[in-house]
Structure 1
Amino acid sequence: MDESTQTKDLLDKHMKSEDADVLAMAKLMNEKFEKYCKIEDVNQILVLALV
């Protein structure tokens, strides 16, 4: 399991928290994660070039 998958799983877990502070922080972090870590938006040619 790669680090981004682990991070996303942990964020998803905390987004179900009953603690309002944890939930608010998880939502903010998830927004940033979605913005900066979307693998679907990565140019596939660049991925192949890296490999």
Structure 2
Amino acid sequence: MESSNTPFGFAIQDTSGLGLDPFRRDDFLTGRTAMYLIEPDEMTDIRGIEVPL
């Protein structure tokens, strides 16, 4: 999701290998999916431009 030049981002990973988005309330609790916060320096690398701090 790249709607604005924010200094952070989120990534969600399907750890089950099924390729499904989280759809159950306990998907994060059980470990089927994981959510990561992407830091400003990583956002700069991903976008290729400076992000505001």
Under a length normalisation based on structure 2, what TM-score does the superposition of the two structures give? 0.22
Of structures 1 and 2, the one scoring higher in RCO (CA 8 A, sep 6+) is 2
Under a length normalisation based on structure 1, what TM-score does the superposition of the two structures give? 0.22
**Higher fraction of helix:** 1
